[in-house]
Structure 1
Amino acid sequence: MPRPQDRKTKSYKKIKRTYSIDDARNFVIKIKELEGLSKNTIHGYEKFWNDMDRFFDEKMNVADLTADDARDFMHWQLYEKTPFLKSIRYDPTKKGISPVSANTYLTYGKTSFKILEQEGITTNIFSSIPKIKERQKKVDTLTVNELNKLFKSMDKGIYTEFRDYVACFVMLDSFGRVDEVLSVKKTDIDFQHKSITFQRTKNRRVRTIPLTNQSMKLIEELLDETEDFESEYLFLSVFGTRLRPDTFRKHLREIVERSGIKKRVHPHLFRHTASKMFLEQNGSIRVLQQILDHADSSTTARYAHVLDDTVKAQHKQFTPINMLKKKAKTRTKRGESRK
């Protein structure tokens, strides 16, 4: 019986796709968007890849990058990068970013290249770089006198300044981040239980925080001011659109300059200040952790769950609003905005 002829097998040549930095950026961000990460986190990845493009070249093949390239990139971040290129804080004489900020970029780098490694595109060039040692820095806060000076310098007869006054007051009372507070909708305010619910949070966990009577009265008055706008949001521009954090920061800088306060006042300073005042009045650090929603597992695991009633009671007792000398004043309808 004749033997079958030996068959020739086809040879397939593995074609390796070239992934440019721009390709890698789009691929990683698509993955992260599918994971449902917040817009702020996605923006962080975009900033990382923008810097990769800035340091290397958007057409650079990521597979050609090495661990030494990653080290050069991180060294540039720390000592050579000119930060805030498109910001009012831009200073051409300033070089390098803080170790805290550099570690954030390092985290984005490790996570991004881990994805690329899992897809067989390249190796994780950031994996061997250790976390940069961060210098212990004292957290800035505002004093009671500075808070009162800031609040007094706002012209509450003008809508935009009254709105910013309410936003600052609520940030201080709720310990909220600026984006959390400015994203609050009318339906997030519970007048019956005197609370505010943050839906748009940093870690995407919804949380509800009690508010004082002063804050509730101010919110009620603000709602009366904006009743003609058909918007679901609490804090609105003069055009009836949601107030953006960058716009609020700009207004705050102008108010601070007018007040004579010499510190650099930014929205997150209210969160730091509220936390310090809470602890100064002997508030529980466990309750504060829950209010701030700092959910570090190694810390949280050591503490028992704090009941909501305890949170409400301690918030009422230790809110920083209690330390302010002047209570919020209600006013009638305000005139046109100067801004």
Structure 2
Amino acid sequence: MRKNVRKHGRTITTSKVTESFTMCEMFERFMWFKQSEGLAPRTIEEYRIHFQWLLDYLEQDLLGEQMTLDVFLGWADFMLNDKGLQPTTVNIRVRTMRAFLRWCYLENLIDNPIHERFKPMKTAEDTIEALTVSEIKTLLNAFDESTFVGFRDKVMVMVLLDSMVRISELLSMKRSNVDFKAGVIKLEAMNTKTRKAREVPLSSKTMKLLKEYFIESEDFGEDILFLTYDGREMVSNTWRTRLHEVANLTGIKKAVRPHVLRHTGALLYIMNGGDPFSLQKILGHSDMSMTRKYIQMTNMDVKRQHNSFSPLKNVFR
């Protein structure tokens, strides 16, 4: 609605919040809106997890007038400096809440366009969080293959590195999606970020491990590929925590997260001679700009590639 206000002897019209809701009530309306857009269930889950982290920081719900820029900047500062989270991790959470704040403003649920000044922090674009080959071997050797959980986790890491899928895509895989003959796994459109189906190839070594896992998990009688020790569907945040804990036991100093394994696989793909166009298709990126960051190599790698693919190679053959 709009409100008439007298100023300097004349009437002007100003915008006004149409209804009064608490922040939690606004968020539930926002979630209803996002669900109506057809977002995947796991994406909706991520929104809720990020919002819960904000509530944990605030320790209370807020009224609309209490939702100020300082509140959200304080949360970002807390995550970065008190919790010691990486800027890239903080930015993921900031983007989620920024989308929420933008929606609230456009729906006239809050007065101020907080989203215009609550922005992701700048990070080094050329920096890619990735593991070395030695660190990958150390991580894989840390899993206790004598237990179902240990073997399952090793297979999951192998599939993540080899297929370079997102964690949501990994946990949505079904046994029926795996084509052992073709050496690929089909990702269904409803479970991908771009809402487009795609097939991701796997190496023969990963496929061999996956066959063994099929045998180990067939008694559960479930089509979902990766399950808990008692046959239930896995929760992404729980597995992220477990992966981090296993990595800590190895002495690896880097933060080992599913997205780091995705980055690692993509970087090694390029370093081993893979072309960026096929990488873009495997990763499911909508344009090349998102794939470009994986093409940043060390000078040694550039020199090795140049020796193999110099423009003059065929001229003086």
**TM-score calculated relative to the size of structure 2:** 0.72
Give the residue type in structure 2 aligned to 1:282: G
Deviations 1:70-127 (Å, cap 9, x if unpaired)? 3212320232x257xxxxxxxxx82576554555455445533443444444445225
Task: Give yes or no for the alignment of 1:271 onto 2:262.
Answer: yes
Task: Give yes or no for the alignment of 1:245 onto 2:236.
Answer: yes
CA contact (8 A) 1:116 1:124 kept: no
CA distance in 1, matches of 2:90, 2:179: 40
Q: 1:120 to 1:164 in 2, by over 3 A?
A: closer
Task: Give yes or no for the alignment of 1:136 onto 2:139.
Answer: no
Give the residue type in structure 2 aligned to 1:160: V
Q: 1:212 to 1:57 in 2, by over 3 A?
A: closer
CA distance in 2, matches of 1:191, 1:236: 20
The CA RMSD over aligned residues, in Å, is 3.3
Task: Give yes or no for the alignment of 1:231 onto 2:233.
Answer: no
Q: 1:191 to 1:114 in 2, by over 3 A?
A: same
Larger radius of gyration: 1
Task: Tell me which moved more, 235-244 or 247-256.
Answer: 247-256
Task: Give yes or no for the alignment of 1:58 onto 2:48.
Answer: no
Task: Give yes or no for the alignment of 1:222 onto 2:213.
Answer: yes
Q: Which runs of 5+ in 2 are unaligned?
A: 1-16, 293-317
Say which of 289, 295, 298 aligns to 1:299: 289
CA contact (8 A) 1:74 1:102 kept: no
CA distance in 2, matches of 1:251, 1:52: 24
CA contact (8 A) 2:73 2:118 kept: no
Tell me how far 1:23 sits from its aligned partner.
2.4
- Aligned with 1:160: secondary structure? helix
Deviations 1:131-151 (Å, cap 9, x if unpaired)? 444131732322222222322
Task: Tell me which moved more, 19-28 or 253-262.
Answer: 253-262
The equivalent residue for 1:284 is 275
The equivalent residue for 1:207 is 198
Task: Give yes or no for the alignment of 1:112 onto 2:114.
Answer: no
Say which of 179, 198, 203 aligns to 1:190: 179
CA distance in 2, matches of 1:77, 1:96: 12
Tell me how far 1:183 sits from its aligned partner.
2.1
Q: 1:43 to 1:161 in 2, by over 3 A?
A: closer
Identity of matched residues, %? 29
Q: 1:160 to 1:103 in 2, by over 3 A?
A: closer
Tell me how far 1:278 sits from its aligned partner.
1.0
Within-5 A mapping of 1:1-339: 17-46=19-48, 47-48=50-51, 51=54, 55=58, 58=61, 60=63, 62=64, 64=65, 70-79=68-77, 81=78, 94=82, 99-101=87-89, 103-129=91-117, 131-136=119-124, 138-199=127-188, 200-296=191-287, 299=289
Runs of 4+ in 1 over 6 A off after TM superposition: none
CA contact (8 A) 2:105 2:112 kept: yes
Structure with the higher helix share, 1 or 2 = 2
CA distance in 1, matches of 2:251, 2:109: 55
CA contact (8 A) 2:42 2:168 kept: no
Q: 1:169 to 1:110 in 2, by over 3 A?
A: closer
- Aligned with 1:208: secondary structure? strand
